[in-house]
Structure 1
């Protein structure tokens, strides 16, 4: 039985749920194990954190979770038994699922066989198909939200935690997380989710692509880098092909193409539905057809090609830099760009932006990053504004997400990596036709 280290052990909620242990904690609440008195069954009792209940929209999201769970009836979804309030305590009483979260399975037993990884992913898609048919989007699909129940050789899959779920056809004013507000797990977030755009089912399919990538190669597409770099990868960088990363796994070419399709930056290029993706995943494991000369040999994947060096024409385009005169806080942005060969133009906040092809904004100090964000967002709306890049702390996920939602072209983490800065400025210059 799970242990609990707080005062909830033995507490009776709503007169019928006696807490016996703690299952886990999340951003919105704690999930306890509880016995439903009179029925002698165990339930998972999710209780909203008191401090969270005071934040705008949190209570509404919690109540919405109950409504969504009640509508979703699928063997792979957790069933809701009850919900309500006990004084100022909001709770959900759900099916108690006994099993292993997928992240713990991977940590304990290592990687799954390719066939098992595909079948598990297809079963997750079966649950998402039922949710999408109701107009629901999960928005936080990741290994810890996939539970394997029963024998690991042939487990039943349960998809947990629809707490961030949204309805595709809600009116904008009814979207409880709000435009531009980041909720989710960066390693598995779609580009449109990173930008704070309204979701649809194809955002979940991107997350499925991240999940399958991890099952096949051992990590999500953009690894365990800082959150700001992971989000930048989702927004701008091509995902690494799984066959290049793990050639010894014998991953079929058709499966690699499906993973890359799921991870397309443009959602229109992803599979059309969870149903279609599940079908194509299972088909990807079928052996290739026989040809007259025998079975077609798998083509050797060429090695990755490094990005081309900036052309002289690109290097001639002016790059504006707004940075503090104090060299302590300039972070060497101008120097790094000059060394890379770019034509740097020092700028002031009130100067005209006409003629610039990119603009880099550097905070006046480590304490002035919010001020720099406000300036960068304002500059994006100015006449003749080029792509604007904002420099900021590599540990500040909130700053990066708000910058992207506010129209900033890219985010440059500090301390500075000169190669990363040159690459991102080059990409901004190429986007300025």
Structure 2
């Protein structure tokens, strides 16, 4: 673990930002350049799979240039530097208007990525960072480590909880059954994220991974209008389509989904 003032790969560490599942993240700078987020895999997470995920995160995101996708700057075998966003993740947003704005910005980023042949496959509130100056900078999407590249030849993910490379509370049914992801996969996960931002919890909860599997595969989405008095029934219908079990039954774009829920809630 690095401390303020330590040097790493030409960067000076300013402070620790946090720890993820397999990495430490620091605020760092190099000479007179702007501060960056320095992500370093921890010693116990430098196995080939983790190193490959970090490489993919950098390489895929480096090819995407959008104001609401975190910019990548530099990398080594077990580290990378990326755009620093100073306001925490999307759960830090207080107002409904800001939450809907963040969802719209991420929807636009996803639609752009889909146009470039990239499906993120791990949309969740903690992968959406927000700036303190939210009005001018807004929300930024991070972590393309398990992203699917449409033209890339790779084996399907095994349909077992320990092998699903996505976050189970938000995982689209097709990810759980080993089917190829598509832009509709990100739409499903964005819909789960929207539910959490609006209701305070993801749409499905369960005591075990298999319980979450079952809910995503077989249970209808929650009807928030029955739980939150200011949510109209129209929202339930929109959510049901965005979270349809069959990918082809969902909306054509993420922006279409977010536009509709924004109209329903405002």
Normalised to the residue count of structure 1, the TM-score between the two structures is 0.56
| CA shift for structure 1 position 162 | 2.0
Shift of 1:48: 2.1
How far 1:141 sits from its partner (Å)? 1.2
* Displacement after TM superposition at 1:153 (Å): 6.8
Is structure 2 residue 239 aligned with structure 1 residue 259?
A: yes
Contact 1:29–1:47 (Cα < 8 Å) also in 2: yes
State the partner residue of 2:86: 98
Please list, as runs of the form range in 1=range in 2, the aligned pairs for 1:157-196 lying within 5 A after superposition: 157-173=139-155, 178-180=157-159, 181-196=163-178
Gap runs ≥5 in structure 1: 1-5, 287-433
- Report what 2:54 is aligned to: 62
Residue 148 of structure 1 contacts residue 158 of structure 1 at CA under 8 Å; is this kept in 2? yes
Identify which range, 68-77 or 149-158, moves more after superposition: 149-158
Tell me how far apart the structure 1 counterparts of residues 171 and 190 of structure 2 sit (CA, whole Å): 10
**Distance between the aligned counterparts of 2:15 and 2:98, measured in 1?**
33
Label 1:163 to 1:42 Cα distance change in 2 as closer, same or farther (>3 A): same
* Match of residue 431 from structure 1: none
* One of 13, 16, 31 as aligned partner of 2:8: 13
Change in Cα spacing, 1:261 to 1:95, as seen in structure 2 (3 Å) is same
Larger Cα Rg: Structure 1 or Structure 2? 1
Give the SS at the match of 1:158.
strand
C-alpha contact 2:107 2:255 (8 A) present in aligned 1:
yes
Judge which range, 219-228 or 194-203, deviates more: 219-228
- Residue 51 of structure 1 and its aligned partner are, at CA, apart by 3.0
Cα root mean square deviation, aligned: 2.4
- The separation in 1 between residues aligned to 2:113 and 2:213, in whole angstroms, is 26
SS across alignment from 2:12: strand
Kept in 2, the 8 Å contact 1:209–1:260? The answer is no
* Aligned pairs for 1:204-353 within 5 A: 204-223=186-205, 225-246=207-228, 248-249=229-230, 251-285=231-265
Q: How many residues align?
A: 263
Gaps spanning 5+ residues in structure 2: where?
A: none
Between 1 and 2, higher relative CO (CA 8 Å, sep ≥ 6) is seen in 2
